Amino acid sequence: MTVRFRNLLIGLTAATMVAGAANAAATPEWTARIRQMIASKQDYPNAAQMRGDEGTAKVKLDVSDDGSVAAVSIVQPSGSSLLDKEALAAIKRVGNFPAPPGGAASVVIPLTWKLQ
């Protein structure tokens, strides 16, 4: 953990979004792996830290059967445009995800930023 992260806590949890047959592929194990991959790329923007911005952005992620990102959107904003932009950027930094078992899947990933 770098000095930059010493005074912050980044929490990451996930919930599977019920969205028809596409969600049959979002197993708990696969969803946990997706959470880990995003958490490893999540950052706390300096400007957001300096402003004291905290919050949770819920991001809907649609993953194709080959693991590529089909769509990503903010379904519940954090209250900070900087944190919302970072939520989308973290997913972009991951690139491709593991192929969902059983086909395309959608998940909602809450990304949390909290200063300590």
Task: Please say if the pLDDT value at position 5 is more than 90.
Answer: no
Closest residue by Cα to residue 110 from 94, 81, 96, 90: 90
Task: Please say if the pLDDT value at position 19 is more than 70.
Answer: no
pLDDT computed for residue 98 by the predictor: 96
- The pTM assigned to this predicted structure is 0.79
Return d(Cα 93, Cα 64) in angstroms, integer: 17
Quick check: 34 and 109 in contact, CB under 8 A?
A: yes
Position 3 in a domain = no
Domain of 74 in residue numbering reads as 14-105+107-115
CATH of the domain at 74: 3.30.2420.10
Within 8 A by CB and 6+ apart from 19, the residues are 106
Strands 105-115 and 15-16: antiparallel
Task: Please say if the pLDDT value at position 63 is more than 60.
Answer: yes
Closest residue by Cα to residue 108 from 40, 66, 56: 56
The 10s digit of each residue's pLDDT in 65-105 is: 999 999 999 999 999 999 999 999 999 999 999 999 989 99
Position 36 in a domain = yes
- Report percent pLDDT > 70 for the chain: 78
Position 7 in a domain = no
Position 6 in a domain = no
Mean per-residue pLDDT over the chain, rounded: 84
pLDDT computed for residue 84 by the predictor: 98
Number of domains in the chain: 1
CA 98 to chain centre: 15
